[in-house]
Amino acid sequence: MRQLSPWQELPLMEEDMSQSAVAELPLQPVQSRRFLKPETQTAMLFLLPSFLGFMIFMALPILASLGLSFTNWQLISTPSFVGFQNYIKLFTVDPAFYTILRNTLFFAVEYLALNIAVSLTLAVWISSLKRGKAIFRVIFFLPTFTPTIAASVVWLLIFTPDGLADAVIRALGLGLPNFLLNPTWAMQAIILVTLWANVGYNVVMFNAALDLVPKHYLEAATIDGANAWQQFWRIRLPLISPTVFFATVMTAITSLQVFDEIFAMTRGGPGSATATLGFAIYQKGFTNFQMGYASALAWVMFVMIMALTILQFHMQRKWVHYDD
């Protein structure tokens, strides 16, 4: 779901729209109102399956979710309209909400920063190799092809009390507690596992982008006496910045939704140390059956994703370099 960037397409299409609207209006024959053109009929037939699916499994649920968030439906009772009560309760009454929000943002910020830093480092490292690039790409891509739950249960075993992680910590004399039993360290364990499981996407994507950087740019820089560090910051990073931007937006969107790792490893615990929005929505909806309240939480998540995406698009002018 991550290797395409719809964003660059949008301004183009808006132009197309206005152009085609202007161009087509005077040419439109009057009869076409009564009988659809054959091409339009074909298009409607071709679009029918996807349109039906879109309406039933996407548009309808989105509207239903919005509607539900204004009710107090608990699955057994009949739902009644409560206005903004769920949202008001979230921000003023529910003591857990700010913990959940803080956990979600903490996870997203640390995970995003580590993911981009680690994947860029690995991608630059791999692209500097003359041979064996394919092998390393496959190795770092492997966890992303593994069911997250399978990855999570393996790490659960690693972090089990007196398990491998504890043995390593003891052998190195680090004096750290068991990660999953400790409120401060549990989130770090979740971040580590999520990073391991997903960093491959960005490694492969950055690697592909780096390989497209024209060789003569780097050769010219070498002749001018630029060292490897300068070459990276001044030439390669600006040239791959559109890809880095796309990866950052997609990674941020997915990180706000983290669920599988938390469900499998901590169920939000210890206490509520790893309870994030994604987990809270599931818990409120499918454990406590507070469908209205959970839907309001889901809309909070959607607004966060929207806000973050808009913020990133706003900031891209400062650092993303388009070569045109």
Partner 1 sequence: MTTDLTSRHPHSVSADRQRILRRVGTFMSYAGISLVALLFLFPFFWMVSNAVRSNAEVMAVPVRILPEEYQWGTFVDAFVSLPFGTFLLNSIIVACGVTAIVVAVSCLSAYAFARLRFPGREGLLLTYLSTLMIPQVMLVIPLFLLVSKLGWINTYHGMILPVAFSSFGTFLLRQFILGIPKDLDEAAMMDGASRLRILVTVIVPLAMPAIGLLSLFTFIAQWKSFLWPLIATSGVEKATLPLGLTLFQTQQGTSWNYIMAGATISMVPGVILAIVMQRIIYKGISVGSGFGGR
Q: Of residues 285-314, which lie at the interface with partner 1 (CB under 8 A)?
A: 285-286, 291, 294-295, 298-299, 301-302, 305-306, 309
The count of chain residues that interact with partner 1, using the rule CB under 8 A, is: 107
- Please report how close the Cβ of residue 32 comes to partner 1 at its closest, in angstroms: 9
- Please report how close the Cβ of residue 220 comes to partner 1 at its closest, in angstroms: 16
* Footprint on residues 135-174 left by partner 1 (CB under 8 A): 136-143, 145-151, 153-158, 162-164, 167
Q: Which among 87-95, 97-105, 173-181, 250-258 is the span making contact with partner 1, rule CB under 8 A?
A: 250-258
DSSP string covering 27-54:
G--GGGGTS--HHHHHHHHHHHHHHHHH
Report CA dihedral (252, 253, 258, 259) to the nearest 10 degrees. Answer: -170
For partner 1, the closer CB: 186 or 253? 253
User: From CA 189, how far away is CA 227, in angstroms rounded?
Assistant: 37
* Footprint on residues 225-244 left by partner 1 (CB under 8 A): 239, 241-243
Question: Looking at 88, 113, 117, 129, which residue binds partner 1 (CB under 8 A)?
Answer: 129
- Give, for 303, the enclosing helix (H) or strand (E): helix 291-319
Cα angle, residue 186 at apex, residues 201 and 137 outer, rounded to 5°: 20
Question: Looking at 10, 117, 307, 315, which residue binds partner 1 (CB under 8 A)?
Answer: 10
- Please report how close the Cβ of residue 98 comes to partner 1 at its closest, in angstroms: 19
Using CB under 8 A as the binding rule, whether residue 217 contacts partner 1 is answered as no
Burial letters 246-269, b for 16+ CB under 10 A, else e: bbbbbbbbbbbebebbbbbbbebe
- Please report how close the Cβ of residue 271 comes to partner 1 at its closest, in angstroms: 19
Question: Looking at 128, 184, 230, 287, which residue binds partner 1 (CB under 8 A)?
Answer: 128
DSSP string covering 136-176:
HHHHHHGGGGS-HHHHHHHHHHHTSTTSHHHHHHHHTT--P
Using CB under 8 A as the criterion, what x/- string covers residues 25-54 for binding partner 1? ------------x-xx-xxx-xx-xxx-xx
* Footprint on residues 71-110 left by partner 1 (CB under 8 A): none
Which tokens in the block code for residue 155?
């790490």
What φ, ψ does residue 81 adopt, rounded to 5°?
-70, 125
Residue 25 is classified by DSSP as G
Q: Which among 82-90, 108-116, 172-180, 200-208 is the span making contact with partner 1, rule CB under 8 A?
A: 200-208
Using CB under 8 A as the binding rule, whether residue 220 contacts partner 1 is answered as no
Using CB under 8 A as the binding rule, whether residue 4 contacts partner 1 is answered as yes
What is the distance in angstroms between the CA of the first residue and the CA of the last residue of the chain? Answer: 27
